[in-house]
Amino acid sequence: MLVPLYARAVESRRRRLMVKAALAQIAGNFPDASIAFDTVTRRAVVHANKDHERLRLDARFVWACPDPTEIERWQIGLRLVESLRLTDIPASLWSRLPWPMRVGFRALSRLLPGIADVYRFNLFAGRLGTGR
């Protein structure tokens, strides 16, 4: 049983290093650019991949990042400017949402915070950028 667990750990580390190398290359080539991308938790990766398999989709999530500040700690020239959870709706959009949707988002974030935390949309600034 230790071999599959070790293999998964090695594979996870290899994928993280690949993501780190790709982001470092982007940050190095575009040092004043803002970069926006999403991150998901391991729970989201597993769940989404089961759905993709069931639907016979070839696309799979391969990397989980539950804490986007990890990317900032890599010191590759990216600074986390903002990170929003699935239920974090910007104030400028909140009033434009239909009332039932606003109630749903509030209920989801309060009653099932673990679900709201599985997905994050992140804005990073390059070392020369302001992020806005």
> Does residue 24 form part of some domain?
yes
User: Which pLDDT value is given to residue 2?
Assistant: 45
In the chain, the number of structural domains is 1
Rounded CA separation 87/111 (Å): 12
User: Which pLDDT value is given to residue 10?
Assistant: 61
Tens-digit pLDDT profile for the chain (132 aa)? 444 444 555 677 888 899 999 999 999 999 999 999 989 888 887 777 787 787 887 877 778 888 999 999 999 999 999 999 888 888 888 999 999 999 998 898 888 878 878 889 999 998 765 544
> Does residue 63 form part of some domain?
yes
pTM listed for this prediction: 0.76
* Helices vs strands, H then E, count in the chain: 6, 3
> Does residue 93 form part of some domain?
no
Q: Which domain holds residue 64?
A: 2-86+117-126
User: Which pLDDT value is given to residue 129?
Assistant: 54
Give how far Cα 15 sits from Cα of 10, 27, 61, 130, Å: 9, 18, 11, 29
Q: Cβ(72)–Cβ(79) under 8 Å?
A: yes
User: Which pLDDT value is given to residue 128?
Assistant: 62
> Does residue 108 form part of some domain?
no
